[in-house]
Amino acid sequence: MHKNDVKAGSPGKARTIDVPIFEESNFGEKMAIDEKHIGEDFYTIMSNRDTGKIAMLCNSYNFTGLEQILVRHPSVLPKVKSITRDFSALYQKLCDRLFPDAVQVGDKFHVIRHLMEANQAIRIKYRQKELQKRRVAFNEFKESEKLRLEECEHTGKKFKPRKFHYKEARLENGETPLELLARSRYLLFKFSQQWTLKQQARASILFHLHPEIEQAYNLSCQFRDFVSKKNIGCHYLQIDKQLHDWYEKVENADIDEMLNFKSMIESNEEYIVNYFIQGETNALAEGINSKIQKFISSNQGTRDRDFFFFRLANYYS
C-alpha cells in the first residue's frame, strides 16, 4: 500500500489503484503525460518538463481512476499552463476536464512515428505482394508434384521428389525484388541528402519499380520539413496554409496509408499546431520512460515492485 492509493469503482466492486509516486511539489506550469508498461501493467506518468521530476505515477489507464487521483489534490490542477501528450482519447479527455486552461500540445515525436509507420506500411505492402508471388509459385509446384506422383503410381515408375526452387530476377544492384524491399527500410527514415551511395542506388531502383513508395516518401519529407524548428513562432495563418497545402497533395496522391495519416492529423490538428507556439514536445517524458526501462534492467525486472518504486521515487521524484 502507498499513502496516495485510491479506491475506484462502484461500492462492493471497488478496486485499489496503486499510486507509488505523487509529489505535489513536482507539478508546475509545463507538464507531460505519457504511459509506460511496467511488468504486466500500464502506468500513467505525469512529469515536470522544467525539472525532469516525476509528479505522478499510477497504475491506471482509465479516466475515472486518473480523475479520482488528481481531484484529491485540487491545488496542483491550476498550476499547469501547458501539457504535452500523445493522441490517446483518454489523455485528451483528462486534459479537457481537469486542465481546461492548459494549452494541450500534440507531441511532435508521436506524429513523426505515425508518419514513419504509414511510410513503412507501403513498403511492407509491396513486400507482401512479392512474398505472395513466391507462395503462388510454391503452390503450383506442389500441385505439379502431386500430379507427377499420381502419374508415377499409375505407370509404376519410381517417384523421386524434386526440391522447390524459386528463381527471382536480379536487379541492377544485384539484389532481388524481395531483398530490395527489405533493405530499403532504413533509407526511408532518412532525408535523401543523408543517404549513402549504396542507399542512393537502392532508392533509385526502388522508386522506379514502385512509384507509390516514392510519392509517399516525398510527402513524408515535406511533412517533416513542415514540423521542423524553422516554423516555430510563425504566424498561425502561415502554419495553416502550409498544412492545408500538404493535405491537398496527399489527397491528390490518393495513397491509403498517407490518407489514414492525414485523417489522424486532421482530427488532432488543434493540438498539433500548438507545437509551433514554443516548440514544446514530450521528449523529456520519453526520456524518463527510457530511464525507467534502464531501472527495470538494472533491478533485474520488477519482481519486488515496492522496492523498485522506492528506488524510482528517490531518483526521479
Does residue 37 fall inside a structural domain? yes
Of 84, 26, 79, 67, give the one whose Cα is nearest residue 286.
84
Q: Are residue 218 and residue 123 in the same domain, yes or no?
A: yes
The count of other CB atoms within 10 Å of the CB of residue 79 is: 16
CA separation for the pair 102, 46 (Å, rounded)? 14
* Domain assignment of residue 184, yes or no: yes
Residue 11's pLDDT band, with cuts at 50, 70 and 90, is low
**Quick one: CA torsion of 314, 289, 298, 41, rounded to 10 degrees?**
90
Which residue in 81, 80, 90, 85 sits closest to 108, CA to CA?
Answer: 85
Q: Based on the structure, what is the number of domains in the chain?
A: 2
Are 122 and 76 in a shared domain? no
Exposed, middle or buried: residue 229 (CB in 10 Å: 0-12, 13-18, 19+)?
A: exposed
- Asked if residue 160 belongs to a domain, the reply is no
User: Are 249 and 213 in a shared domain?
Assistant: yes
| pLDDT at residue 179 greater than cutoff 80 | yes
**pLDDT given for residue 275 in this prediction:** 92
Task: Read off the pTM.
Answer: 0.84
CA distances from 13 to 5, 7, 16, 227, 238 (A): 16, 10, 10, 46, 53
Q: How is residue 41 written as a grid cell?
A: 501493467
Confidence of residue 14 (pLDDT cuts 50, 70, 90): low
| Phi/psi at 175 (5° precision) | -95, 155
Range(s) of the domain holding residue 266: 110-129+177-276
Q: How far apart are the C-alpha atoms of 47 and 53, rounded to whole Å?
A: 6
| Cα 290 to Cα 284: distance, rounded to the nearest angstrom | 10
> In a 3-state reduction of DSSP, which class is residue 204?
helix
Q: Model confidence over 184-213: pLDDT tens digits?
A: 999 999 999 999 999 999 999 999 999 999
Distance CA 313, CA 315 (A): 5
Reported as a pLDDT band with limits 50, 70 and 90, residue 168 is confident
Q: Decide if 83 is inside a domain.
A: yes
Reported as a pLDDT band with limits 50, 70 and 90, residue 12 is: low
Contact criterion met (CB below 8 Å) for 279 and 106: no
Mean pLDDT computed over 9-29: 80
Report the CATH number that the domain containing residue 75 is assigned in CATH.
Answer: 3.30.420.10
Distant-in-sequence, close-in-space partners of 211: CB < 8 Å, separation ≥ 6: none
Q: What is the DSSP string of 296-314?
A: HHHTTSSSSHHHHHHHHHH
* One domain for residues 35 and 121: no
Determine contact, residues 148/155, Cβ cutoff 8 Å: no
**Amino acid making up residue 307:** F
Residue 268's contacts (CB-CB under 8 Å, 6 or more residues apart) are 87, 106
Residue 145 lies in a domain: no
pLDDT band at 157 (very low <50, low <70, confident <90, very high): confident
